[in-house]
Amino acid sequence: MSLIEMKTPIVEMDGDEMTRIMWKMIKDKLINPYVNLKTEYYDLGLENRNRTDDKVTVESANATKKYGVAVKCATITPNADRVKEYKLKDMWKSPNGTIRAILDGTVFRTPIIVKGIEPVVKCWKKPITIARHAYGDVYKAVDMKIPEAGKAEIVFTDKNGNETRQLIHNFECEGIIQGQHNLNSSIISFAKSCFNYALDTKQDLWFASKDTISKKYDHTFKDIFAELYENEYKEKFKNANIEYFYTLIDDAVARIMKSQGGFIWACKNYDGDVFSDMVSSAFGSLAMMTSVLVSPLGVYEYEAAHGTVQRHYYKHLKGEETSTNSVATIFAWTGALRKRGELDKIDELIKFANELENAVITTIENGKMTKDLAAITDIKSLVVLNTSDFIDAINDTLKNVRW
């Protein structure tokens, strides 16, 4: 069979540890035999980030802006231990943080649904995608301990030096205060990414905040979403037969627990942090979660939701057998290949991405899986495979479909 040809390269961001090992296996066994893969390669492994003073991360993000689609392997975010382990020149920043700052996007996380690994919430029949705003609020807050009685105020000074003040509280005893902010430009980007992703995936969009209590702060989020919807998206949503729905965050939580799933839940930064962990564990496993960064400019970066699986890597280095789940990393590749196929109008590439995803799901549903899934499945007759054999088993399924 001839290889599927590509037009535009995908930006390939290699990474670290166990996911780097799986990255190569996936390319060698599941992609290169079928696709004449065109990538622009950036090595974001920690050693190369250190060698290039982390310039490679910035270059890879700029290349993503240029080409429109990237696929990223999990990477180490260095801490003090890693600085010693890798003899780093500096405690380099989180690559995801750097890339996100350049692409200005929203992260969408969706569970991969497989029969035999059932969500703990029985009525959830379809995936729930969490869209997390990744800027500001409590993550960029300043806080202060109030040591004694006194007056706390918020002060805004404009460029001419005029002050606007608001009382926070007249303290009569010790206490605490916190100052948060967000930017309208960032909220607009967030809203646009959510509306575009809903249109892209033909799913309803829910957004929730606490505007009844937070009458200026959360209300601004609500208003920006509502205004953009009215002016730019209402007609498009109608044509796509999907809905935009706003409600209070507590109402949203109650409704979600009774829903069938199959929609996007846009969350403010803190809500997204908390609820994405709830949704992913209720659906099964972090290794069965896709993640894509969508920028308001229509640029896409696909990755797995989990980290570099360090513990498994150390076993691998000692020559011990590992059973690491490659599903999320495979889906990062299929996401990128499908998007490239859509943008370049290559039907064969889109078809291949769908077939590879189906092969992954069929393989698991046939009882062949890694250890993490074996621990949570209802499937009775199952074979637990090691990292490499699981990828081979997927390829056996794929070959059956393609030939």
Q: Where are the beta strands (DSSP E) in 180-325?
A: 204-209, 244-248, 263-267, 289-294, 300-304
Q: Are 211 and 268 in contact (CB under 8 A)?
A: no
The interface partner of residue 39, options being ligand NAP, Mg ion, none and the CB cut-off 5 to 8 Å by kind, is none
The interface partner of residue 54, options being ligand NAP, Mg ion, none and the CB cut-off 5 to 8 Å by kind, is none
Q: Is 76 in the site for ligand NAP (CB under 6 A)?
A: yes
Q: Toward ligand NAP, which CB reaches closer, 6 or 22?
A: 22
- Which residue sits closest to Mg ion, CB atoms considered? 273
Strand partners, 177: 144
The interface partner of residue 273, options being ligand NAP, Mg ion, none and the CB cut-off 5 to 8 Å by kind, is Mg ion
Beta strand 10-14 with 106-111 is unpaired
Q: Is 77 in the site for ligand NAP (CB under 6 A)?
A: yes
Nearest to 74 by CA among 57, 97, 95, 104: 95
Q: Is 377 in the site for ligand NAP (CB under 6 A)?
A: no
Q: Is 394 in the site for ligand NAP (CB under 6 A)?
A: no
Structure tokens at 314: 């150390």
Q: Is 273 in the site for Mg ion (CB under 5 A)?
A: yes
* Residue 17 parent element (H or E): helix 17-26
Question: Near Mg ion by CB under 5 A, which window of 196-204, 242-250, 251-259, 267-275?
Answer: 267-275
Size of interface with ligand NAP, in residues (CB under 6 A): 17
Three-state secondary structure call for residue 67: helix
Q: Toward ligand NAP, which CB reaches closer, 290 or 325?
A: 325
Three-state secondary structure call for residue 1: coil
Q: Is 348 in the site for Mg ion (CB under 5 A)?
A: no
- Which residue sits closest to ligand NAP, CB atoms considered? 307
The Cα 195–Cα 207 span in angstroms is 10
Phi, psi of 200 (to 5 degrees): -60, -40
Q: Is 75 in the site for ligand NAP (CB under 6 A)?
A: yes
The interface partner of residue 193, options being ligand NAP, Mg ion, none and the CB cut-off 5 to 8 Å by kind, is none
| Cα 32 → chain centroid | 25
Q: Is 308 in the site for ligand NAP (CB under 6 A)?
A: yes
Structure tokens at 253: 């939580």
Q: Is 307 in the site for ligand NAP (CB under 6 A)?
A: yes
How big is the chain, counted in residues? 403
Q: Is 281 in the site for Mg ion (CB under 5 A)?
A: no
Q: Is 289 in the site for ligand NAP (CB under 6 A)?
A: no
Strand arrangement, sheet containing 69-72: 39-43, 10-14, 69-72, 300-304, 289-294, 106-111, 128-132, 263-267, 204-209, 244-248
Q: Are 363 and 385 in contact (CB under 8 A)?
A: no
The interface partner of residue 76, options being Mg ion, ligand NAP, none and the CB cut-off 5 to 8 Å by kind, is ligand NAP
Min. distance of Cβ 277 from Mg ion in angstroms? Answer: 6
Residue numbers at the binding site for ligand NAP (CB under 6 A): 74-77, 96, 286-287, 303, 306-311, 324-325, 372
